[in-house]
């Protein structure tokens, strides 16, 4: 059964692409005119635990757990992308933990998605609930009917991963704020180029930079961005005192990955749309879900609040064996978890206990040349149908 009507040819939201593109051009050249002759453009890696500090403590660099010139450079870049201030962390989960730990006290209520990233739910259930925080979950599709005004913190992703339902960011921010709570968005799937939750009313955004931001599947990293100086101060204090600090080399690698973010995101979006359309028109999948398809229930919202539709596609095959055979049989799909790298990958999400069918695959497109990727995925899907 296909879920795309004949004759429908969805198109990406190209109207907003020029403004995102010119923003990135400004970003790339934000410091080009500043350096003195002979200065390097690439930031230095500074592996040090101590800094010269005679007399009374003074200056921005005093001890390696508190600051590092590489952090300053990367936080400047990440903040510039979001028109906000950034604090970096050694993983996406360290960024999640900082937001949870600084935003909640015993007696507060926290709302998470039941169909969002499982690591966030695990952190809340294992560490916050025993300390007296009331942790509630709600399916993304039910959020519109969920009272939000009683929550101190609402932490959501959109699209929700892995099923790709969307959250209306502007409406949700208004409802959370009406009760005096804070809305934080995990924007990992979309990147700052694909979605700007702070502009739509969110109090903070956080990322697993392990995924698209670094983009090369070789670093675990994360960050938080906010325009709220009080929140920023608490999160910085959490890192400085708590000690969850990024290493200088990993910091430099993320800075390097960031330089090509716009190129990679454009290719990811192009590849995902081409592959989703081709799979939706194929007899193999029982269903194909991608926000860029007009058949997606939140397609209109996707066009309104996202620039491009992201790199994840959900498809369902008949059963576990068929799904495994498809992944194994496609030369351009790595069998791995995670997403956002240069190489396309896929996995059956039921293997992690997600409440999805046994044949449900999360396909994460990479940056391969579009037509070669599309053709190989369709060849592998043809083989699945032939075996039936
Ligand atoms: C949406 C999302 N947020 C947060 C995380 C956690 O990031 P990390 O693995 O970098 O700690 C992940 C990891 O898969 C993720 O997919």
Tens of pLDDT, residues 278-317: 999 999 999 999 999 999 999 999 999 999 999 999 999 9
CA 290 from centroid of its chain's CA atoms = 16
* DSSP E strands, 171-311: 182-186, 204-208, 222-226, 287-289
Structure tokens at 120: 């966030």
pTM (two decimals): 0.94
Verify whether ligand 1 is closer than 6 Å to residue 360 (CB atom): no
- Within a domain: residue 12? no
Judge if 240 and 141 occupy the same domain: yes
Q: Which of 88, 89, 90, 93 to mutate to test the pocket of ligand 1 (most atoms within 8 A of CB)?
A: 93
pLDDT number for residue 9: 34
Only one residue has tokens 């800094």, namely 51
- Within a domain: residue 280? yes
* 8 A C-beta contact, residue 335 and residue 290: no
pLDDT number for residue 366: 98
Give the mean model confidence (pLDDT) for residues 79-84.
97
Report the domain count for the chain.
2
Reported residue count of the chain is: 388
- Within a domain: residue 309? yes
- CATH number, residue 337: 3.90.1150.10
pLDDT number for residue 169: 98
Query: CA-to-CA distance for 232 and 287, rounded, in angstroms?
Result: 42
Judge if 307 and 380 occupy the same domain: yes
**Which of these three, 199, 227, 258, is where a domain ends?**
258
pLDDT at 17 over 80: no
- Within a domain: residue 145? yes
The H or E element that residue 351 is part of is none
Start-to-end CA distance of the chain, whole Å, equals 15
Judge if 280 and 378 occupy the same domain: yes
Judge if 110 and 243 occupy the same domain: yes
- CATH number, residue 77: 3.40.640.10
Tens of pLDDT, residues 25-73: 999 998 888 778 888 888 899 999 999 999 999 999 999 999 999 999 9
Verify whether ligand 1 is closer than 6 Å to residue 135 (CB atom): no
Count Cα atoms within 13 angstroms, Cβ side, for 207. 34
Helix-helix angle 320-329:370-387, to 10 degrees:
140
pLDDT at 12 over 50: no
Query: CA-to-CA distance for 114 and 58, rounded, in angstroms?
Result: 47
Structure tokens at 240: 């400085």
Tens of pLDDT, residues 177-223: 999 999 999 999 999 999 999 999 999 999 999 999 999 999 999 99
Q: How far is the CA of 94 from the centre of ligand 1 (A)?
A: 10
Tens of pLDDT, residues 24-38: 999 999 888 877 888
Query: CA-to-CA distance for 123 and 95, rounded, in angstroms?
Result: 12
Verify whether ligand 1 is closer than 6 Å to residue 43 (CB atom): no
Verify whether ligand 1 is closer than 6 Å to residue 187 (CB atom): no
pLDDT at 3 over 50: no
pLDDT at 1 over 80: no
Judge if 328 and 187 occupy the same domain: no
Q: Between 285 and 23, whose confidence is greater? A: 285
The atom of ligand 1 lying closest to the CA of 337 is 14
Query: CA-to-CA distance for 73 and 88, rounded, in angstroms?
Result: 11
pLDDT number for residue 96: 98
pLDDT number for residue 11: 37
Identify the residue whose C-alpha is closest to ligand 1 atom 6: 92
pLDDT at 13 over 70: no
Which of 228, 193, 163, 222 is closest to 82 using CA atoms? Answer: 193
- Within a domain: residue 10? no
**Which of these three, 198, 223, 258, is where a domain ends?**
258
Judge if 235 and 317 occupy the same domain: no
* DSSP E strands, the chain: 85-89, 109-113, 134-138, 153-157, 182-186, 204-208, 222-226, 287-289, 312-316, 334-335, 345-348, 360-364
To the nearest whole number, what is the mean pLDDT of the chain? 94
Judge if 249 and 308 occupy the same domain: no
pLDDT number for residue 33: 80
Judge if 226 and 334 occupy the same domain: no
For residue 267, the enclosing domain spans 261-387
The H or E element that residue 148 is part of is none
- Within a domain: residue 11? no
Tens of pLDDT, residues 303-361: 999 999 999 999 999 999 999 999 999 999 999 999 999 999 999 999 999 989 999 99
- Within a domain: residue 3? no
Judge if 209 and 102 occupy the same domain: yes
Only one residue has tokens 């996707």, namely 302
Judge if 232 and 303 occupy the same domain: no
Judge if 303 and 228 occupy the same domain: no
Query: CA-to-CA distance for 9 and 320, rounded, in angstroms?
Result: 30
* 8 A C-beta contact, residue 135 and residue 282: no
18 Cβ partners below 8 Å, 6+ apart?
A: none
- Within a domain: residue 4? no
Judge if 306 and 239 occupy the same domain: no
**Which of these three, 242, 258, 274, is where a domain ends?**
258
Query: CA-to-CA distance for 152 and 104, rounded, in angstroms?
Result: 7
pLDDT number for residue 321: 98
């Amino acid at each position: 059964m296909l879920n795309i009507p004949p004759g429908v040819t969805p198109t990406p939201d190209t109207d907003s692409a020029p403004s995102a593109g010119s923003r990135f051009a400004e970003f790339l050249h934000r410091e080009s005119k500043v350096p003195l002759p002979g200065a390097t453009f690439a930031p230095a890696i500074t592996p040090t635990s101590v800094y010269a500090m005679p007399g009374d403590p003074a200056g921005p660099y005093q001890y390696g757990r508190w600051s590092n010139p590489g952090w300053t450079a990367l936080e400047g870049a990440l903040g510039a992308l979001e028109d906000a201030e950034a604090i970096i962390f050694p993983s996406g989960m360290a960024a999640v933990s900082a937001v949870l730990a600084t935003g909640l006290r015993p007696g507060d209520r926290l709302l998470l998605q039941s169909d969002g990233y499982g690591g966030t739910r695990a952190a809340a259930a294992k560490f916050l609930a025993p300390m007296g925080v009331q942790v509630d979950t709600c399916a993304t599709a039910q959020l519109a009917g969920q009272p939000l005004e009683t929550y101190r913190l609402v932490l959501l992703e959109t699209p929700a991963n892995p099923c790709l339902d969307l959250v209306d960011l502007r409406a949700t921010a208004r409802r959370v704020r009406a009760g005096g709570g804070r809305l934080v968005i995990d924007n990992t799937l979309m990147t700052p180029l694909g979605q700007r939750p702070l502009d739509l009313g969110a109090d903070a955004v956080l990322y697993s930079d392990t995924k698209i931001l670094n983009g090369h599947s070789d670093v675990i990293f994360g960050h938080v961005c906010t325009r709220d100086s009080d929140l920023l101060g608490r999160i910085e204090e959490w890192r400085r005192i708590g000690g969850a600090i990024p290493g200088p080399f990993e910091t430099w690698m993320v800075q390097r990955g960031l330089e090509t973010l716009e190129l990679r995101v454009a290719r990811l979006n192009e590849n995902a749309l081409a592959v989703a359309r081709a799979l939706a028109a194929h007899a193999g999948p029982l269903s194909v879900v991608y926000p860029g398809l007009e058949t997606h229930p939140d397609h209109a919202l996707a066009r309104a609040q996202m620039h491009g539709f992201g790199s994840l596609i959900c498809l369902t095959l008949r059963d576990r064996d068929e799904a495994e055979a498809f992944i194994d049989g496609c030369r351009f799909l790595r069998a791995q978890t995670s997403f956002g790298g240069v190489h396309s990958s896929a996995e059956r999400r039921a293997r992690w206990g997600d409440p999805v069918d046994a044949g449900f695959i999360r396909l994460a497109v990479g940056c391969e040349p579009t037509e070669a990727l599309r053709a190989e995925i369709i060849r592998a899907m043809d083989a699945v149908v032939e075996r039936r």
